[in-house]
Amino acid sequence: QVQMVESGGGLVQTGGSLRLSCAASGRTDANYAFTWFRQAPGKEREFVGGIHWSRSNTNYADSVKGRFTCSRDNAKNTVYLQMNGLKPEDTAVYYCAATRSLLSIYTTRSAYDFWGQGTQVTVSS
C-alpha cells in the first residue's frame, strides 16, 4: 500500500507558475512510476505527466510539454510537478498516482493503483 498527499495548489494568473508536491509513504521501492493526472469540472480525468522513481525517465501529455516538468527527491520521498506558463485551461484538480512499473510511465487512469486526494489549481485569465 502506498499513501500519497498532494500539496501546492492554488490560484494563479495566466502565465504564472506553481509547484505541486506529492509526498509518498508506505511500501514504495525503486520500481514505481509516479504520475500526475488532472480533472476539470465535467471532464474525464486525464494524464498530465509522470516520472519513474529510480530510472528517472519521464513522459508528458502533449498539452503540457515544454511547460510542465516532473521531478523527484528520493531523500524526501516526494515527487514534484513544476508548472510554468499556466493557462486557464490548466484549471483542474490535480491528482498524484502511483503504480508498480519497471520502466513505463503509463498514461491511462486504470493502470494506477494508488491515488492522492487531489489539490485544486485555478488559473485566472
Burial of residue 82, with CB atoms counted within 10 A of its CB: 0-12 exposed, 13-18 middle, 19 or more buried: middle
Question: What's the DSSP call for residue 109?
Answer: G
What span, in angstroms and rounded, lies between the C-alpha atoms of 101 and 33? 6
- How far does the chain reach from its first CA to its final CA, in angstroms? 40
Residue type, 124: S
pLDDT by residue for the chain (125 residues), tens digit each?
899 999 999 999 999 999 999 999 986 678 999 999 999 999 999 999 999 998 889 999 999 999 999 999 989 999 999 999 999 999 999 999 999 999 999 999 999 999 999 999 999 99
Supply the pLDDT for residue 41: 93
Cβ within 8 Å of residue 20, ≥6 positions away: 6, 7, 8, 9, 36, 80, 81, 83, 94, 96, 119, 121
Burial of residue 15, with CB atoms counted within 10 A of its CB: 0-12 exposed, 13-18 middle, 19 or more buried: exposed
The answer to whether the beta carbons of residues 72 and 80 sit under 8 Å apart is yes
